[in-house]
C-alpha cells in the first residue's frame, strides 16, 4: 500500500527534525523502499501501517529506526568498500586467468538505485582489466525514476563526497552546474534496464559477477529463494555473487556455497566450485 | 591520533571538533594557515591529520598545503581540504599542491569519516 502525501510529509518532517536531512517530494521511492524492512521488523503490515502505528503511539526505538533507515544507509560509491576490494584483488585475477580466450567480462548490478554501484564497478574494471579486455555492466532497478537518474550519471556534491576518492572524482567525473557528471566514456560502459527481481526474469545473458546487495532484506524467504534461483541461472558456473553484509544464501538456497573473497565473503554455485574451496567463507 | 583543524569559522571548527572527538582524535585548532604553521612549529612531532579550509585570511588553505609539503617535519601529516570551493579546477589545484583528499562543504559526518577511512585514519565502517 502506497503512502499518502500526508504520511510522506509526516515522515519527511520527522527525519528533518531528527537529522536535519531534507527529503524532498522526489524521495517517495526512497522512503517506501527504506521503511519496508523497518515495517517488517516491527510487525507492521506495510509502510503505511508502520506510519499509522507510529502516529498512534510514537515509540522512540521506531523513531530511531525510521530516521536511521532514511539517513545513514544511503547508497554511495564503493559502498562498504570490501566487496570492491575483493573484486579487484581476488575475483578479477581469477576471472582474467579463466577468460583469456574471450577477454570479456559481464557484470550485473541488481537493484542499482541511482547508479553509484554500477559506476563504481565500471571504475574498478577499467582500472583492473589488462589492455584489450572489454566489459559490460548491466544496472537494473525496479524504479524507472532511479534508472533515469542513473542513466544521466549526475551526482550532487553530497553524493560525490561519499566514498569516492578525490582522484577518482577528477578522473571520471566532470562538473556540470551544481552536479558532477560521470564522463561519457564510463557512462557508455554501463547499460540500465528496468527489472523487478521478484518477478520472472527476462533473458539477460550470463554473468561473471553479480552484485545483489542490500535487496534480499526487502523480501520474505520465499521471494529470496526465488530471486536466488533466478540469479543462479544467470551466473556462469565459475561466477561470483556478492550479497549485502546482512544477507546470506545459507538456509535459503543450497545451490550456493559461501567462499572467502579477500576480507569479505561471496557466494558461488555449488555445482561450479571445486570441493576444496567450498565452505571456506566466514 | 591528533588532528589540527584550520578554519576561520568558529562554527565549522566546532562541528569538526565534535566529529573528530567522537572518533577518538585529539584536536588542535587554528584560524588560518599562518597560525597553524606557528602552532605546528612549536610542537614535538606533527599531528597525523590536518583538515583545511580554503578561504582564510593571512594564509589560505592552498598556501598552507604548499608550505606543509615543503616542510620535512610535516611530511607525514595527511592533508584534507574541507571547503566550499567545488570547481573541478580548484580540486585539481589542491591535489597538485599536495592535498591528499578533498571534502566539499556542506558535508555530513559520515562523508568526512568515509574519507578518513579511505586514508586509513579510521577503521572502515566507523560511525558517530
Q: What is the pLDDT of residues A91-145, one digit of tens each?
A: 999 999 999 999 999 999 998 989 999 999 999 999 999 999 999 999 998 778 7
Q: Residue A277's pLDDT is what?
A: 52
The minimal CB distance from A170 to the residues B92, B103, B107 is found for B92
Q: Residue A38's pLDDT is what?
A: 86
Contact A210, A234 (CB under 8 A): yes
Residue B16, domain member (yes or no):
yes
Q: Do A157 and B124 touch (CB under 8 A)?
A: no
**In Å, what is the CA distance from A173 to each residue of A164, A176, A179, B99?**
11, 9, 10, 19
Say whether A141 is catalytic: yes
How far is Cα A204 from Cα A215, in angstroms, rounded to an integer?
19
Of A128, A168, A155, A124, which Cα lies nearest the Cα of B95? A168
Give the burial class of A80: count Cβ atoms within 10 A of its Cβ; 0-12 exposed, 13-18 middle, 19 or more buried: middle
Per-residue confidence band for A158, with pLDDT thresholds at 50, 70 and 90: confident
Of A36, A13, A6, which Cα lies nearest the Cα of A215? A36
DSSP string, B67-126: HHHH-GGGTT-EEEEEES---HHHHHHHHHHT-SEEEESS--HHHHHHHHHHTTSS-TT-
- The reply to whether A82-277 shares the fold of A5-71 is no
Q: Would an 8 Å CB–CB cutoff place B111 in contact with chain A? A: yes
ipTM above 0.90, yes or no: no
Q: Residue B126's pLDDT is what?
A: 55
Residue B122, domain member (yes or no):
no
Neighbour count for residue A24 (Cβ, 10 Å): 8
Mutate to test the interface with A, among B86, B101, B109 (most CBs of A within 10 A): B86
Residue in A closest to B108 by C-alpha = A158
Residue A67: its chain B contacts at CB < 8 A? none
Q: At what angle do helices A5-19 and A47-56 cross, to 10 degrees?
A: 60
Residue B101: its chain A contacts at CB < 8 A? 165-166
Q: Which of residues 144-203 of A touch B (CB under 8 A)?
A: 157-158, 160-163, 165-167, 169-170, 173-175
- pLDDT at position A220 over 50: yes
Distance between B4 CA and the closest CA of chain A, angstroms: 21
The minimal CB distance from A161 to the residues B103, B117, B127 is found for B103
Q: Residue A86's pLDDT is what?
A: 97
Query: Considering its fold, how many domains does chain B have in total?
Result: 1
pLDDT digits (tens, 9 = 90+) for A168-217: 999 999 999 889 999 999 999 999 999 988 888 999 999 999 999 988 87
Rg (CA), chain A: 20
Say whether A34 is catalytic: yes
Q: Residue A264's pLDDT is what?
A: 95
pLDDT digits (tens, 9 = 90+) for A4-57: 999 999 998 888 777 556 777 777 877 888 888 889 888 899 999 999 999 998
Enumerate the domain spans of chain A: 5-71, 82-277
How far is Cα A282 from Cα A79, in angstroms, rounded to an integer?
20
Q: At what angle do helices A5-19 and A60-71 cross, to 10 degrees?
A: 90
Residue B96, domain member (yes or no):
yes
What average pLDDT is seen over chain A?
88
Residue A165: its chain B contacts at CB < 8 A? 101, 118
Q: Residue B128's pLDDT is what?
A: 46
**Cα A39–Cα A43–Cα A45 angle in degrees, nearest 5:** 65
Homologous superfamily of domain range A82-277: Vaccinia Virus protein VP39 (3.40.50.150)
B7: CATH: 3.40.50.2300
Distance between B98 CA and the closest CA of chain A, angstroms: 12
How far is Cα A221 from Cα A252, in angstroms, rounded to an integer?
7
Residues β-bridged to residue B3: B27, B49
Residue B73, domain member (yes or no):
yes
Query: Of A37-51, A151-165, B33-47, B103-117, where does the model show the most confidence?
Result: B33-47
pLDDT digits (tens, 9 = 90+) for B69-118: 999 999 999 999 999 998 999 999 999 999 999 999 888 888 899 899 98
Q: Residue B99's domain spans which residues?
A: 2-107
Domain covering A5-71, topology: Chemotaxis Receptor Methyltransferase Cher; domain 1 (1.10.155)
Q: State whether residue A172 is helix, strand or coil.
A: helix
Q: Return the higher-pLDDT residue of A250 and A246.
A: A250
Amino acid at each position: 500500500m502506497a503512502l499518502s502525501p500526508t504520511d510522506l510529509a509526516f515522515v519527511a518532517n520527522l527525519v528533518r527534525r531528527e537529522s536535519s536531512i531534507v527529503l524532498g517530494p522526489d524521495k517517495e521511492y526512497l522512503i517506501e523502499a527504506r521503511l519496508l524492512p523497518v515495517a517488517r521488523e516491527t510487525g507492521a503490515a506495510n509502510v503505511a501501517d508502520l506510519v499509522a502505528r507510529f502516529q498512534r503511539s510514537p515509540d522512540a526505538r521506531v523513531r530511531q529506526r525510521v530516521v536511521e533507515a532514511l539517513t545513514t544507509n544511503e547508497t554511495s560509491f564503493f559502498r562498504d568498500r570490501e566487496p570492491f576490494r575483493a573484486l579487484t584483488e581476488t575475483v578479477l585475477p581469477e576471472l582474467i586467468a579463466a577468460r583469456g580466450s574471450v577477454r570479456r567480462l559481464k557484470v550485473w548490478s541488481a537493484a542499482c538505485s541511482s547508479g553509484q554501484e554500477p559506476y563504481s564497478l565500471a571504475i574498478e574494471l577499467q582500472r583492473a582489466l589488462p589492455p584489450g579486455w572489454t566489459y559490460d555492466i548491466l544496472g537494473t532497478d525496479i524504479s524507472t525514476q532511479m534508472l533515469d537518474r542513473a542513466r544521466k550519471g549526475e551526482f550532487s556534491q553530497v553524493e560525490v563526497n561519499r566514498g569516492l576518492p578525490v582522484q577518482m572524482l577528477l578522473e571520471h567525473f566532470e562538473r556540470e552546474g551544481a552536479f558532477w557528471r560521470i564522463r561519457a566514456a564510463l557512462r557508455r560502459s554501463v547499460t540500465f534496464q528496468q527489472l523487478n527481481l521478484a518477478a520472472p526474469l527476462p533473458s539477460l545473458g550470463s554473468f561473471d559477477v553479480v552484485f545483489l546487495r542490500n535487496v534480499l532484506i526487502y523480501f520474505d524467504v520465499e521471494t529470496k529463494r526465488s530471486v536466488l534461483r533466478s540469479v543462479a541461472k544467470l551466473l556462469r558456473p565459475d561466477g561470483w555473487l556478492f550479497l549485502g553484509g546482512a544477507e546470506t544464501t545459507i538456509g535459503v538456497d543450497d545451490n550456493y556455497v559461501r567462499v572467502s573473497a579477500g576480507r569479505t565473503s561471496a557466494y558461488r554455485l555449488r555445482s561450479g566450485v571445486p570441493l576444496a574451496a567450498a565452505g571456506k567463507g566466514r | 591520533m591528533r588532528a589540527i583543524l584550520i578554519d576561520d569559522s568558529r562554527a565549522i571548527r566546532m562541528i569538526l571538533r565534535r566529529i573528530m572527538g567522537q572518533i577518538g582524535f585529539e584536536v588542535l585548532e587554528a584560524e588560518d594557515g599562518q597560525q597553524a604553521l606557528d602552532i605546528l612549529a612549536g610542537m614535538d612531532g606533527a599531528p597525523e591529520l590536518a583538515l583545511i579550509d580554503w578561504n582564510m585570511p593571512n594564509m589560505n588553505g592552498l598556501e598552507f598545503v604548499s608550505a606543509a609539503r615543503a616542510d620535512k617535519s610535516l611530511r607525514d601529516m595527511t592533508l584534507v581540504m574541507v571547503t566550499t570551493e567545488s570547481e573541478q579546477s580548484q580540486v585539481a589545484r589542491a591535489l597538485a599542491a599536495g592535498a591528499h583528499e578533498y571534502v566539499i562543504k556542506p558535508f555530513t559526518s559520515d562523508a568526512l569519516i568515509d574519507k578518513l577511512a579511505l586514508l586509513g585514519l579510521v577503521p572502515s565502517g566507523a560511525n558517530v
